[in-house]
Amino acid sequence: MGWFYRRMPSLLMARRNLTRTKVRSVLAALGIVIGVIAIASLGMFGLTLRYSITESLGDIGNQVLVTPGEDSDGEITERQLREIQVAVGSDGTTVPQKTRVTTVSYGGGGGGARGGGGSQRRVVTGMDNPSLLYEAREGEIPQPFRSGALIGPQLAEERDLGVGDAISVNGSSKRVVAVLRGGQGFGFASPTTDIILPNRDFQTRGYSQVLVTAESSTAANETAVAIRQGLNGRRELVQVQDFSSVAESIGQTFQALNLFLIGIGSISLLVAGVSILNVMLMSTVERRQEIGVLRAVGFQKFDVLKIMLSEAVLLGVIGGVAGVVFSLVAGMVINHFIVGDAFLVFRPSNFLYIGLAFGFGVGTSLLSGLYPAWKAANERPVEALRS
């Protein structure tokens, strides 16, 4: 310790000066503590919120929807499907779908005593492997899917349908084998009011759309590009939509939210800065003669500046360290209640915010110390020594 102070005499002076007016120093550092906590924990809060929401959004970003393009015959052929499968590769899944508008009646056929009855013109979807996209809330999704019908949860509720009930599609009766689970994100596969039949129930040969699920949103984006390049030459045979841009804009929204929260936190640091400015100014006024003596015995202006700035920075570092400790505790509490795992606070991206808050804290102290230090350094020793 002695060695250290011999190397950094201005720190020694600064430390002794801060301990001279302990309560005042503690209060000034407390401002920084609060500021650092505000920035760090608001930043972590935003991050945790984002984490928990993206978790519940599910695989929004990694789906690609391929539909027939302007120059096609209105459908995707088997050959195009194979090309799409090649483009997707083995890491993703491909679900070709057929759609048709037809008459559906509920509670019609068989002995369906329950159900609201009535019929409507609506879209029904056909696919062979719905288990790749959906989960069943009730019943089970057959694999492979060869007969029966799957219905969305909202439709099941509206029409009071359940597993075993029958619906009539284009005149032929289908038994409901499963009610799908809803709320799995809001990508292309959200089965709220869908009716899903096996592809073989459709007469058409081509597909009306192909839903590709990739491993991640980046992979989805790459797949989309690959499909466009592979299938579309001069003519637009297929149209490819992917959600990566949507995922990106959701990410940006959260970034903005985070910045906003940090902005609020910064205001408290600003207040802390003013309080340090005040403390340092008082200190320079009180120690005017002392500083005059230092100048008289041969301290250059810069030396005085160094001592005063060390004091401000020391306040900032002490406040910053305390703030970081408290923020980690606060972050653990936030993570415990939002995500359910307190130790998620040690995610690397959280440390970005903690480092940012610490840096802001020390920076604020340094900035607030500048004016008082400058003032002290530029005081003429003759004036300062006149008592």
Partner 1 sequence: MAVIETRNVVKRYETGGETLEALKGIDFAVEPGEFVSIMGPSGSGKTTLLNLLGLLDDPSEGQVLLDGEDVTGLSDREQTTARKRTIGFVFQNFYLIPTLTAKENVEIPGLFDRDPTLEDRSVDLLTRMGLGERLDHKPDELSGGQKQRVAIARSLVNEPRVVLADEPTGNLDRETGRQILSEFVSVTERDVAVIAVTHDELVNDYVDRTVRLVDGLMGEDAPTARGAARAAKRDAGEEGADPVDEEVAEAVEDALAGDEDTTADGEDALTGDEETASDREEGDES
- Positions touching partner 1 (CB under 8 A) are 6-7, 9-10, 13, 16-17, 19-20, 289-290, 292-301, 303, 380-382, 385, 387
Question: Shortest approach of partner 1 to residue 301 CB, angstroms?
Answer: 7
Structure tokens at 74: 């209105």
Task: Output the CA–CA distances (angstroms, integers) from residue 261 to 193, 336, 342, 347, in the order listed.
Answer: 38, 20, 21, 19
Nearer to partner 1, 238 or 304 (CB): 304
Query: Which of 234, 194, 206 has its CA nearest to residue 66?
Result: 206
Cis omega (within 30 of 0) on the bond before 381? Answer: no
Distance in angstroms (rounded) separating the CA atoms of residues 241 and 170 = 30
Distance in angstroms (rounded) separating the CA atoms of residues 113 and 88 = 46
Question: Shortest approach of partner 1 to residue 310 CB, angstroms?
Answer: 12
Nearer to partner 1, 258 or 284 (CB): 284
Question: Shortest approach of partner 1 to residue 261 CB, angstroms?
Answer: 41
Question: Shortest approach of partner 1 to residue 299 CB, angstroms?
Answer: 7
Question: Shortest approach of partner 1 to residue 387 CB, angstroms?
Answer: 7
Structure tokens at 114: 């329950």
Distance in angstroms (rounded) separating the CA atoms of residues 198 and 161 = 19
Task: Output the CA–CA distances (angstroms, integers) from residue 67 to 43, 77, 98, 168, in the order listed.
Answer: 41, 11, 11, 27
Nearer to partner 1, 15 or 137 (CB): 15
Question: Shortest approach of partner 1 to residue 22 CB, angstroms?
Answer: 12
Structure tokens at 106: 């509920």
Question: Shortest approach of partner 1 to residue 302 CB, angstroms?
Answer: 9
| Residue 384 identity | A
Helix (H, G, I), strand (E, B) or coil at 152: coil
| Residue 360 identity | F
In 58-165, which ranges are continuous DSSP H helix? 78-88, 153-158
Distance in angstroms (rounded) separating the CA atoms of residues 129 and 70 = 27
Question: Shortest approach of partner 1 to residue 365 CB, angstroms?
Answer: 20
Distance in angstroms (rounded) separating the CA atoms of residues 102 and 149 = 14
Nearer to partner 1, 16 or 146 (CB): 16
